[in-house]
Amino acid sequence: MKVAHLEINAANEENAAQIAELFHVLFGFEPKYGNSSIFVGDKMIEIVKENGRGTNGHICIAVDDMAKAMDELKGKGVAFDESSAKYKNGRMTVAYLKDEFGGFAVHLLQK
């Protein structure tokens, strides 16, 4: 398991652009504008133009084996928001944990 990206919730498109510009000016991270978000820092940071999941945003954890990672976390008492699951070719590729950590939602992403 490893952190894939950190997503920051912005109030709106203008606010997202301001945040992206700060990362660009301060750290040289080139912004990559998309329809709903802006990525900076080689896609390590995502700024969502309108609030997404989590009070402040979300943290994406990439995993090699989704089922194994979920079983391991469930064994540690973690609950998942089953309604958040996304599938591709019949396999789960995304699942959010039920609880936030420090104002951030957390989700697993199948590599």
pLDDT, position 51: 78
Please state the pTM of the whole predicted model.
0.89
* Rounded-to-integer distance, Cα 102 and Cα 9, Å: 14
Share of the chain above pLDDT 70, in %: 100
By three-state DSSP, how is residue 24 classified?
helix
Taking only the tens place, the pLDDT of each residue in 60-90 is 999 999 999 999 999 999 999 999 999 999 9
Taking only the tens place, the pLDDT of each residue in 43-63 is 899 999 987 899 999 999 999
Length of the chain: 111
Mean pLDDT of 101-109: 97
Q: Are 44 and 2 in contact (CB under 8 A)?
A: no
CA distances to 6, 76, 95 from 34, in Å: 16, 36, 23
The alpha carbon of residue 68 and the mean position of all alpha carbons in its chain are separated, in whole angstroms, by 20
